Amino acid sequence: MNAKSRISGLQFFTVTACFLIGTFLRITSITSVLANDAWVSVFTGAVAYLPFLAVFLGLVKRYPGKSLFEINEAVFGAVAGRILSCVYTYFFTMILTTTLLDMANFIVGFIMPGTPITLVLAAFMVSCVYATRKGLEPLARISALLASGACLVLVVNSLLTVANADTRYLFPMFTLPFLRYVQGTHTTISLYFGESIVFLTLLPMLDTKTDIKKPMIASLLFAVVIAFLAVTREILTLGPLLPYVARPSYETMRIIDIETILTRIESIYAFIMISLTFFKACTLLFASASGIAQITRIESPKPILFPFGAFVVVFALQTYPIVGDFLYWSSNVSPFIFTIIEFILPLLTLLAAWTKGFIGSSQRLHVKKGAVRK
């Protein structure tokens, strides 16, 4: 990891966009809740996420150039800040674990049946560690290529599904109970948009002149467009089958059959998904290792990467050996845990920072007044 390499605003945008597309390609949690109305939650989720984005941006504005872990210590002090950083580090490790496990289950279940999952996880993690050790800037450079590739594949694949699409599958709209829409929106912000809190750990790597507000908002809009396109395509193609299939995007690709020539092109989707997952895993690995480095006062997270990567592989294998348990946890449990970490804690941090700033400024004012009296 090269501390000198900095990433520009544009690169930050492609990094965040890649991360979010990688997240939205695993959209099963929304489709299983809202079926043909899943597209709604993309918009409601994005709107509901805006206040939380404002919280993230408020923290960044107050502590420019500091990572999330440094902000914690600046606001809550060394001990409480480190405890909070431990929670975030655990959270990033959890997302990393579930991301890797999901990808490994996909490879073992769909692409290379029979391949030991341990080997897939280990091989993938070695690549991630190697890439992360090279630094974030090279990763940021490839993110532009990956984001464009993912968009191209998504658009081309969507065009290829037109022959099998049926617009009537969108109807009837808004017939589900209101609480289901709330659940769908909550799932969208906590499982998809909310993960963008990880970008706060990358801030020290940014060019000092970079204003992160624009790239963050641009990547959010970009992710909304991509997610809407992906979800709508799946609704139009799979229709009532949508809530039943394990991987809607992949199954949509399986349906493409143009005159028996253009068929079995789901491997292209698999390639994009694995590439984006690799990118996402690298970002999360960097975030988790940075957290550990900050907590343990190690100068650089570089020496931690390999042992930590090995730990994550073992953790992934031990945590959810049964796919069904993992899917249940992802859909029903994790949104609630994630909400606390992604939104409540940053909000408390911002409030504490404000309070601290307010008290600090009033104390300064008091001292100043005292000095005048003297």
Partner 1 sequence: MKSRSFTAYLLSGILLCCFLLTGCTSGAQIDQLAIVMGVGIDKGSAPDNYLVTAQIARPSHVRTANEGGAAQGKPYLDIQQEGKGISMAMYEMMRQMSRRAYLAHNEVIVISEDVAAETILPILDYFIRSLEAKFTVDLVIARGTASGLLAADSNLEQMPAKHLQNLLENQVKNASIEEMPLYKFLSDMLSPGIAPTIPIMELYTDETGIQNARVQGAAVFDGGTLAGTLSAEQTRTLQLVRDKVKSGYINLDAFGSYVSLDITHSKTSVTPRVENGRVIAKIRIRQEYILIDTGVQADITTEDAKAQLERLAAMRLIQSVESLLQDTKAQGLDVCGFGQMAYRKYPRQVEALLETWPEQYKALEVEYDVETVITITGSILRPMAPKGGEQ
Q: Which residue ranges make up the site for partner 1 (CB under 8 A)?
A: 109-110, 112-116, 119-120, 122-123, 126, 168-169, 171-172, 175, 238-241, 244, 251, 254-255, 257, 263-264
The residue among 108 and 284 lying less far from partner 1, judged by its C-beta, is 108
Tell me how far, at minimum, the Cβ of 125 lies from partner 1, in Å: 11
Q: Which residues of 99-130 are buried (b: 16+ CB within 10 A; e: fewer)?
A: bbbbbbbbbbebbeeeeebeebbbebbeebbe
The residue among 113 and 370 lying less far from partner 1, judged by its C-beta, is 113
The residue among 260 and 318 lying less far from partner 1, judged by its C-beta, is 260
CB count in 10 Å sphere of residue 219: 23
Q: Distance (Å, rounded) from C-alpha 279 to C-alpha 284? A: 9
Tell me how far, at minimum, the Cβ of 212 lies from partner 1, in Å: 36
The residue among 123 and 218 lying less far from partner 1, judged by its C-beta, is 123
Tell me how far, at minimum, the Cβ of 238 lies from partner 1, in Å: 7
Residue 112's identity, in one-letter code, is M
Q: Distance (Å, rounded) from C-alpha 40 to C-alpha 121? A: 34
Tell me how far, at minimum, the Cβ of 174 lies from partner 1, in Å: 8
Tell me how far, at minimum, the Cβ of 230 lies from partner 1, in Å: 18
Tell me how far, at minimum, the Cβ of 58 lies from partner 1, in Å: 42
Tell me how far, at minimum, the Cβ of 254 lies from partner 1, in Å: 5
Residue 238 · residue 248 · CB < 8 Å: yes
* Token pair 């092109």 in the structure block, residue: 265
Q: Distance (Å, rounded) from C-alpha 291 to C-alpha 259? A: 52
Q: Distance (Å, rounded) from C-alpha 68 to C-alpha 29? A: 28
The residue among 124 and 326 lying less far from partner 1, judged by its C-beta, is 124
The residue among 128 and 350 lying less far from partner 1, judged by its C-beta, is 128
SS3 7: strand
The residue among 224 and 238 lying less far from partner 1, judged by its C-beta, is 238
